Amino acid sequence: MESAALQFPWRQLGELLVAEGLLTEDELEQALAEQATTGRLLGQILVANSYLSAFSLARVLSEQHGVELSRKEGVSAPPAPSVSQPEQTWRPLGKLLVDLEFLTESQLERALAAQHEEGGRLGEILVSRGLLSGGELAQALAVQHGVELAPQDEAELQTVVRPITSKEPMYKLFEVIFEPGYQRRTELFESTNFLETADYAFEFVDDHEPAALEIHRTHGAAEETVWNYSASRAAAVSEERKDLAQTFGFDPTVWGKKR
């Protein structure tokens, strides 16, 4: 399977940060070029290059999960710098929350069942039901994207759960099934949070090894494909890196790169 760092739809995350005014287009292009070369998580690159702080990254990611975080008036950011975590790999948020012991398996299963039945975003459901704090969500999202965020003092944070509005675009995940002469698409998942849709796609690839997947962004009558996965392309990338490692004894595409 293609590496998680290459598989994840990083450009969509970067465009969110540009829209928030936290990155310039040029900084995003430079970071994406480095990500494609090194395979590091985009969040690691952005924080390591001082394009933005770990808290700013976590705040934008939390908003995608329907939870708005801000520091209360008069509270300044902690002075300790955030550092990139070495050898970080992508993990879906639900599994990560359990790994960090912020949730139990049964709590996660109930939250996912509620999401399936009632809709909404995972972070929104967990925080609104008191199963997770805003600070814990921010910490988990920072770790998911490869950076370390100091534990947040909940007394210093303003946490607001923001329900979905009809104005938000929808991200739909489709499995692409190749039939003789045409392609058939089956919808697997949808959410207003593209990060959540990407999480589902990542788990689906691990569990089912599909030939191809696509994420479509729909907003009113407009629809565009924002990410796609191909098992054959992933296998080719994996084989290319294997050949390089056999030839040189290491992968020269990442040798000497900061990880």
Kindly report, residue by residue over 47-71, the tens digit of the pLDDT: 999 999 999 999 999 998 989 999 8
Which residues does the chain have with pLDDT short of 70?
1-7, 74-88, 166, 235-259
The confidence score (pLDDT) of residue 245 equals: 46
The confidence score (pLDDT) of residue 251 equals: 47
> Are the C-beta atoms of residues 169 and 153 closer than 8 Å to each other?
no
The confidence score (pLDDT) of residue 49 equals: 92
The confidence score (pLDDT) of residue 217 equals: 92
The confidence score (pLDDT) of residue 216 equals: 94
Domain ranges of the chain: 4-161
Rounded-to-10 torsion of CA 105, 111, 112, 113: 110
pTM for this predicted structure: 0.78
Whether the CA torsion 94, 176, 43, 193 is positive or negative: it is negative
The confidence score (pLDDT) of residue 6 equals: 53
Nearest to 193 by CA among 214, 175, 217, 177: 217
Q: Which two tokens stand for residue 241?
A: 């890196």
The confidence score (pLDDT) of residue 156 equals: 84
- CB-CB neighbours of 180 under 10 Å: 4
